């Protein structure tokens, strides 16, 4: 069980804040203005910097005390990087599934089945994020706030894609599922505490998903992404992370 203290009281507040990102940014005009202004590209840079400067080095510390992970047959020093790859490939597959389904439909939207798969997968992803609000490798308010800020900007990017792909279905149901998933993950985090090696795998899967989702938004030529805000976001958060 997680000890009660000042830091333990912060995750529920941050969980509510992250859940509200999905609820309050549902407006398509708002998301369009954020994209045109470069804020989403700035947020993408923040998310990528957090993964490469903070999460991956932190993940590297998880496998030290264990020889093998019970869930994977590989030596522990490879477990976490295999799961980073799994997270990346999983969300790439979801993106391809949604695009293919939309291309084959009459209304250019994914089928309801694909929508359910998409939302369920992102719901699980958000639940992991909510759980990790409670269980951080490096305790402390500062570390927790850095994690929450990076996730908040990342959730904005996810909203852009899901709103564009699923439109009304995401407005009616999807955003509420994702918001609830964050809260559910945090609630589970207060009730359970996984082994340290398993916690490292959750961080790894989240890192792989973050990298793919940021690349998905920033790289394609049809996106209204902006290079300089992206670099500024990455540089800004790198400085913040190295200074803490």
**Does residue 20 lie in a domain region?**
yes
Rounded to an integer, the average pLDDT of 202-214 is 86
Residues 73-123: tens digit of each pLDDT? 554 566 678 888 999 999 999 888 888 888 888 778 889 899 999 899 999
Determine, yes or no, domain membership for 220.
yes
Question: Which of 4-8, 210-214, 240-244 has the least mean pLDDT?
Answer: 4-8
- Say which residue, 234 or 221, is predicted with more confidence: 234
Q: Is pTM, for the whole model, over 0.95?
A: no
> What integer is the mean pLDDT of 48-70?
69
Q: Count the domains in the chain.
A: 1
Asked if residue 181 is part of any domain, the answer here is: yes
What is the distance, to the nearest Å, from the Cα of residue 99 to the centroid of all Cα atoms in its chain? 20
1 located within any domain: no
Report yes or no on 112 lying in a domain.
yes
The answer to the question of residue 47 being in a domain is yes
In a domain, 80, yes or no: yes
**Comparison of pLDDT for 29 and 18, the residue scoring more:** 18
How far apart (Å, rounded) are the C-alpha atoms in residues 20 and 43?
17
Q: What is the pLDDT of residue 65?
A: 46
Measured distance CA(119)–CA(139) in Å, rounded: 31
What pairs with residue 68 in β-bridges? 75
Q: Given this model, what pLDDT does residue 19 score?
A: 94
> Is 50 within the bounds of a domain?
yes
Q: Which of 62, 35, 49, 52 has its CA nearest to residue 240? A: 49
Treating both helix axes as pointing N-terminal to C-terminal, what angle do 227-243 and 39-49 enclose, rounded to 10 degrees?
40
Confidence at residue 62, expressed as pLDDT on a 0 to 100 scale:
60
What value does the mean pLDDT of the chain take? 81
Residue 193 belongs to domain spanning: 6-243
Tell whether the model's pLDDT for residue 130 goes beyond 90: yes
Segment holding 50, helix H or strand E: none
Q: What pLDDT was estimated at residue 23?
A: 87
């Amino acid at each position: 069980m997680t000890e009660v203290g000042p830091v333990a009281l912060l995750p529920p507040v941050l969980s509510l804040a992250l859940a509200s990102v999905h609820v309050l940014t549902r407006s398509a005009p708002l998301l369009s203005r954020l994209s045109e202004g470069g804020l989403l590209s700035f947020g993408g840079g923040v998310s990528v910097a957090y993964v490469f400067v903070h999460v991956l080095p932190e993940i590297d510390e998880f496998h030290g005390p264990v020889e093998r992970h019970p869930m994977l047959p590989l030596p522990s020093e490879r477990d976490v990087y295999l799961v980073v790859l799994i997270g990346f490939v999983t969300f790439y597959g979801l993106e391809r599934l949604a695009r293919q389904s939309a291309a084959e439909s009459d209304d250019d939207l994914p089928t309801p089945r694909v929508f359910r798969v998409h939302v369920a997968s992102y719901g699980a992803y958000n639940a992991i994020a909510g759980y990790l609000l409670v269980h951080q490798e490096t305790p402390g308010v500062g570390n927790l706030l850095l994690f929450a800020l990076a996730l908040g900007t990342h959730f904005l990017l996810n909203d852009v894609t899901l709103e564009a792909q699923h439109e009304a279905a995401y407005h009616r149901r999807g955003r509420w599922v994702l918001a609830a998933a964050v809260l559910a993950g945090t609630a589970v985090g207060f009730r359970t505490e996984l082994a340290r090696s398993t916690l490292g795998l959750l961080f790894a899967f989240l890192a792989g998903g973050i990298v793919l989702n940021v690349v998905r938004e920033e790289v394609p030529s049809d996106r209204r992404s902006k290079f300089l805000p992206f670099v500024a976001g990455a540089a800004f958060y790198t400085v913040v992370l190295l200074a803490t």
